[in-house]
Amino acid sequence: MGTALTVDVRGVSKSFGHGRNAVQVLNDVSVKIAEREFFTLLGPSGCGKTTLLRLIAGFEDVDRGDIFIAGQRVNDQPPFRRNVNTVFQSYALFPHLTVQQNAAFGLRMKDLPREEIKRRANEALEMVRMSALANRRPSELSGGQQQRVALARALAPRPQVLLLDEPLSALDLKLRKEMQIELKQLQNQAGITFIFVTHDQEEALGLSDRIGVMNDGVIMQVGKPIDIYERPTHRFVANFIGDINLLEAKVSNGKALLKSGHLVECDVSAHSPSSSVSLAIRPERARIVKETDTEANFAGIVDHFAYMGTALVYQIRLLEGTKFLLRETTANGAGQFAQVGSRVGIKVAPEAIRVLRD
């Protein structure tokens, strides 16, 4: 990932409709995306991530705020004047053109010399491993092959930024996994900025240099995948990314006081006394111990147990009635003494408990 900025979004807002029927889709969104970065906009449907992508592309107009690409303000520039390309979910290939002709389409629109068009289109097809099928038409290709052609067409003009709007969502699960790996390798090979839109948390964690988690038209948190997963700053982010246990508590005497009256040691220094907080704990960061273990943070009864091959998954009902999901590896046989109906303790290191303001 480079250090120079490629895309700089400053205080951007966007609404659709007019008057009382207007719906605000983006509200004062700012984000900086670096050169050669794989940046993902992640969030549920309707959160504004695709709208932000379309504003960067120039397909929609900004209501308020500014968008800079490579240091140049582009608010008033049409899409073809911006050095970006977009890959859509539907691929949008031309059915009457061959693979090679589809890859060359954007270059022909630039009125380049014929030999340069052919050379750059072939280079792009080589990059996505589609050279052998250059003379086929889209109807003769699989979904994964069509996606590669769409990528080649977008990469051939050598844009500064490639925008990808859920390009893997139409693929079956196995092919989607394969294409995730290929997409990251392709970005490294192309050496340009990728801005990727998805609602798939696992996809975002596996592909991205950084992630911007969106909800209700705002970016809730931006960070590296490990920061988003391990150190969420908002309850929404913690709950949206992966499995999480959220326990309601109040700050008391430098600890977190649960409804059961149990005090939990964790870092509450950023929260005022008596304030309401949520304790966020990932299932894999907890361990089952015997109920009598003095190092147990919580106690409860096993309601459900499942053997998942590489993991043991427990659902435990804590004393205050809250359900707690716990996942342990089977590598060392940990936790196998805990059966449904048994009383157990749960041990969590204080640093594995993230304290979030409600």
Q: Digits of tens for pLDDT over the chain (358 positions)? A: 556 889 999 999 999 998 888 899 999 999 999 999 999 999 999 999 999 999 999 999 999 999 999 999 999 999 989 999 999 888 788 999 999 999 999 888 888 899 999 999 999 999 888 999 999 999 999 888 898 899 999 999 999 999 999 888 877 778 788 888 888 888 988 899 999 999 999 999 999 999 999 999 999 999 999 999 999 999 999 999 999 999 999 999 999 998 888 889 999 999 999 999 999 999 999 999 988 888 888 889 999 999 888 888 999 999 888 999 999 988 765 556 678 999 999 999 999 999 997 6
**Strand bridging mode 298-307 / 276-281:** unpaired
pTM score of the predicted model: 0.88
Write out the two tokens for 285: 């960061």
The dihedral region occupied by 339, where left means phi > 0, alpha psi between -120 and 50, and beta the remainder, is: beta
Say how far apart CA 254 and CA 250 lie, in whole Å: 10
Radius of gyration of the chain (CA): 25
Cα distances from 267 to residues 55, 225, 293, 339, 352, in angstroms, run 40, 22, 22, 32, 10
Spatial strand order of the sheet with 161-165 comes to 84-87, 161-165, 193-198, 38-42, 210-215, 218-223
Residues found in the chain: 358
Q: Which amino acid is it at 197?
A: V
Give CA torsion, residues 117, 119, 124, 129, to 10 deg. Answer: 140
Q: Taking the domains of the chain in order of start, what are their residue ranges? A: 5-235, 243-357
Q: Whole-angstrom Cα distance, residue 358 to residue 234? A: 8
Helix (H) and strand (E) counts for the chain?
A: 8, 20
CB neighbours of residue 268 within 10 Å: 23
List, edge to edge, every strand of the sheet that includes 354-357: 263-264, 255-258, 245-252, 276-281, 354-357
CATH architecture of 243-357: Beta Barrel (2.40)
Identical fold between 5-235 and 243-357: no
Which H/E stretch holds residue 344?
strand 343-348
CATH assignment, 5-235: 3.40.50.300
Q: Encoding tokens for residue 330?
A: 């089977």
